[in-house]
Chain A
């Protein structure tokens, strides 16, 4: 092609967001499905921005734990919402990176001028989780279904054994290692010598920051109550080092002999139910609707690490993604006013920061001449993060994008924020927002 000019791009605006309070697993939202929660979250967003009957360019969302019937989860949620039924939608899934990846996908289409507005979201329930039958039983049931004669049916039924009845429950474990994510994180914490106390300190700060943010009304236009819950159920404003110190470690079975297990139910995120959504748009669309622009999504990056054979920690991929994105944008790690590092585990945040400070690691693993350096802790997770709010896998990205965009907007124009989210499968999704 003679015409090699790039299409003009623009930066997608973040208009605002909505989420429902996150609930602990098998609690307040135990009877709510992914579709219920996502629909309620979209409707809350519609109410906040007056989008009743409006057609947005696209709604993109996903869930990590999904029932087979939820193959078109987002489109079904749109049809059940107050949005115009002619709004297209599709599902995505990138483990805990789902919500942020959804926002990136919507932002990219806006940047290319393919759509003018879009909603990115995510939802997860660990309570209303799908159960699968074992492969043996599944094959028998399929042949039973296709059997044409009574005899064939009886033959099929006769193959069923009591041991096949036990369902397969989804596990928070990596298929290739059989280790729970927490076990992987504990190995990384050990490798980076992350102590118990610093993990607990980070945890207390997360709870305190989030409680303070609730008290000053920060979440008034970010959260809509659901099923009687108006604040995140996991939030403990009275969390303290003393209380956390009493908790027993819950991971560490893969640690070498004699190594100290440091990760507890306090400094790890609990299983959680919830949903979030973010409204993105072109600046022009936002202005036409009389809606604010809180921030723009400037750039994003994903990375993956070989945690199976490559000797890297399962949750270390964001460490690799960030320098690539910084280099592309001519930025240093210190050029940010706010940092949002997803608190899958307190140790994950600490290991991530320690890796960026380590000259040898930065040279050998990241191929950098100099370490990225340290970040100002007072700019980290300023309104709390997943340790306090909880972490419904696919909903975390939307929570962070909307909250960070609002924080940047409040701080004034030209402020910059970094998002770093680790995900199962050794993946990471990171992004830059700017007001």
Chain B
């Protein structure tokens, strides 16, 4: 008997771009007037990815500072994606021409801080012409790859430059930077497209460092995960359910994992996206083995593991009992370590080119009062992916972390209004992110084309002020 419905075909519910109430209000007629007059935050409705959407809603300009070895690569990738590439905007030119979808600065080949003047010359007029939800992306050499103090200074300057641009941009626009070492040029296409697209709506002020890698080509832009088997833990609700939905939308068969007690909603998620439900307590001693056996028996292997399952057991450190500490560590960190190790040890269940994406947290970077256990576990995740990256690289695989900031979920809906509003506004985009924003970032890291992103932690926080 044939399966008559294609897997993952319908557009899943819950991924529609829905902003919070304040964003809705501030973008209404009366709300616009009022928030402007009172000088209140004016969060924009972010451009979020929808299947079939063009990469950018407007043309892109590419400029250079320094020698610039990436211009042709960038240009080719963007033209291939159907984006119009324009010449740099003249500093004294008109600002009312065609609005730009994105501004890309190739700052590779900087030799000294003096080279940065041309960065300023290029960026200032171009950014004036940026559309809402525009993108600024700066490409540079990694500062640590040079012995020259002047060169390192110029490269490191990009860090301060891009973070500041992120804070200055309005209307849902973002600024990010990618450090591209010599030899990693082929790795650039996937992050380039991600940062310019609506998939990175809530990723702002981030600096990503690429590695040289064997990057597969010929990926289906609409279904980059076609034919892949992806495990998502903690998939019964919230961010995990959104991850499962986006992975399925991108073509993956999703094995949705959650604790048996959440099996009811887990089954609904699996049925919604055409995936399968696996009820498993990931902290059980035999959980890694059971997962490996399940993947081998049912799918012959696995391509993507998303370690999303996480719990909070908040209490000030001085009042925290061992149970709170241990349970958070077991779910958030030890299970990720044990399952990943079991997959590596097994030999063949983890397919070549595998992707592991681990969910960390802003708390793991900035710390959070009452969350010593949680923050420790989430910081541990960052150390884990960094340490494992070289071994994964040997297998043409990658392991990365994603650190969500303030994401609007059922959990944050229960926070007191004041705490929630402050928490969601203290970032450059002046709004909380959505589960789909985290999911899009994870789905991007899972793509075969993201082979050159390894050992990185990508924050999905709208350039939060916490831990920045």
List the interface of chain A (C-beta within 8 A of B): 43-44, 46-57, 82, 84, 116-117, 217, 219-221, 223-226, 230, 285, 289-292
| A57 vs B263: C-alpha distance when bound (angstroms) | 26
CB distance from A46 to the nearest CB of B (A): 6
Q: By the criterion CB–CB under 8 Å, are A46 and B260 in contact?
A: no
Q: By the criterion CB–CB under 8 Å, are A230 and B260 in contact?
A: yes
Which residues 283-332 of B sit at the A interface, judged by CB distance below 8 A? 284, 286, 290, 297-300
Closest B residue to A81 by CB, please name it.
B271
| A59 vs B253: C-alpha distance when bound (angstroms) | 26
Closest A residue to B280 by CB, please name it.
A220
| A109 vs B427: C-alpha distance when bound (angstroms) | 63
The answer to whether the Cβ of B143 comes within 8 Å of any Cβ in the partner chain is no
4 further interface pairs, Cβ-Cβ under 8 Å (given A43-B268, A51-B3): A47-B276, A53-B4, A221-B279, A224-B263
A57: B residues at CB distance < 8 A = 1
Q: By the criterion CB–CB under 8 Å, are A292 and B276 in contact?
A: no
Using A56-B1, A285-B1 as known contacts, say yes or no to A220 and B260 having CB atoms under 8 A apart.
Answer: yes
Closest B residue to A217 by CB, please name it.
B284
Interface of B, secondary structure class, is mixed
CB distance from B108 to the nearest CB of A (A): 46
B85: A residues at CB distance < 8 A = none
Residue of B1, B266, B268, B276 near A55 (CB, 8 A) is B1
Q: Give 4 closest A-B pairs by Cβ, nearest first.
A: A53-B5, A47-B267, A47-B277, A47-B270
Q: By the criterion CB–CB under 8 Å, are A84 and B4 in contact?
A: yes
Using A50-B274, A50-B276, A52-B274 as known contacts, say yes or no to A44 and B261 having CB atoms under 8 A apart.
Answer: no
| A226 vs B261: C-alpha distance when bound (angstroms) | 9
The answer to whether the Cβ of B281 comes within 8 Å of any Cβ in the partner chain is yes
Closest A residue to B262 by CB, please name it.
A225
29 inter-chain pairs at a CB distance below 8 angstroms, sorted by A residue, are A44-B267, A46-B267, A46-B271, A47-B270, A48-B267, A48-B276, A50-B7, A50-B253, A52-B271, A53-B274, A54-B3, A54-B4, A55-B1, A55-B2, A55-B4, A56-B1, A84-B4, A84-B5, A217-B280, A217-B281, A217-B290, A220-B279, A223-B260, A224-B267, A224-B277, A224-B279, A225-B260, A225-B261, A291-B298
The answer to whether the Cβ of B264 comes within 8 Å of any Cβ in the partner chain is yes
B261: A residues at CB distance < 8 A = 225, 230
| A220 vs B263: C-alpha distance when bound (angstroms) | 9
Q: By the criterion CB–CB under 8 Å, are B264 and A226 in contact?
A: yes
CB distance from B277 to the nearest CB of A (A): 4
| A44 vs B256: C-alpha distance when bound (angstroms) | 13
The answer to whether the Cβ of B172 comes within 8 Å of any Cβ in the partner chain is no
A47: B residues at CB distance < 8 A = 266-268, 270-271, 276-277
| A290 vs B274: C-alpha distance when bound (angstroms) | 15
**Number of residues from B at the complex interface, CB < 8 A:** 32
CB distance from A90 to the nearest CB of B (A): 18
Cβ proximity bits B395-408 to A, threshold 8 Å, 1 near / 0 not: 00000000000000
Q: By the criterion CB–CB under 8 Å, are B300 and A54 in contact?
A: no
| A48 vs B275: C-alpha distance when bound (angstroms) | 9
B270: A residues at CB distance < 8 A = 47, 50
B253: A residues at CB distance < 8 A = 50
| A220 vs B267: C-alpha distance when bound (angstroms) | 13
CB distance from B71 to the nearest CB of A (A): 46
A289: B residues at CB distance < 8 A = 3
Using A49-B276, A220-B279 as known contacts, say yes or no to A290 and B300 having CB atoms under 8 A apart.
Answer: yes
Q: By the criterion CB–CB under 8 Å, are B278 and A221 in contact?
A: yes
Closest A residue to B9 by CB, please name it.
A53
A82: B residues at CB distance < 8 A = 271
CB distance from B401 to the nearest CB of A (A): 28
Closest A residue to B273 by CB, please name it.
A52
Q: In this complex, which of A47, A117, A226 has the most chain B Cβ atoms within 10 angstroms of its Cβ?
A: A47
Closest B residue to A84 by CB, please name it.
B4
B260: A residues at CB distance < 8 A = 217, 219-220, 223, 225, 230
| A285 vs B2: C-alpha distance when bound (angstroms) | 10
| A44 vs B260: C-alpha distance when bound (angstroms) | 12
Q: By the criterion CB–CB under 8 Å, are A117 and B1 in contact?
A: yes
| A50 vs B299: C-alpha distance when bound (angstroms) | 11
Q: In this complex, which of A43, A116, A226 has the most chain B Cβ atoms within 10 angstroms of its Cβ?
A: A43
B290: A residues at CB distance < 8 A = 217
Closest A residue to B265 by CB, please name it.
A225
Cβ proximity bits B1-44 to A, threshold 8 Å, 1 near / 0 not: 11111010000000000000000000000000000000000000
| A48 vs B270: C-alpha distance when bound (angstroms) | 8
| A44 vs B277: C-alpha distance when bound (angstroms) | 8
A51: B residues at CB distance < 8 A = 3
CB distance from B363 to the nearest CB of A (A): 29
Q: By the criterion CB–CB under 8 Å, are B298 and A292 in contact?
A: yes
CB distance from A113 to the nearest CB of B (A): 13
CB distance from B294 to the nearest CB of A (A): 8
| A225 vs B262: C-alpha distance when bound (angstroms) | 7
Using A50-B275, A219-B260 as known contacts, say yes or no to A43 and B267 having CB atoms under 8 A apart.
Answer: yes
B275: A residues at CB distance < 8 A = 50
A49: B residues at CB distance < 8 A = 276
CB distance from A407 to the nearest CB of B (A): 16
| A233 vs B253: C-alpha distance when bound (angstroms) | 34
Residue of B264, B268, B277 near A48 (CB, 8 A) is B277
A285: B residues at CB distance < 8 A = 1
Closest A residue to B254 by CB, please name it.
A50
B286: A residues at CB distance < 8 A = 217
Q: By the criterion CB–CB under 8 Å, are A44 and B1 in contact?
A: no
| A84 vs B298: C-alpha distance when bound (angstroms) | 22
B281: A residues at CB distance < 8 A = 217, 220
Q: By the criterion CB–CB under 8 Å, are B271 and A43 in contact?
A: yes
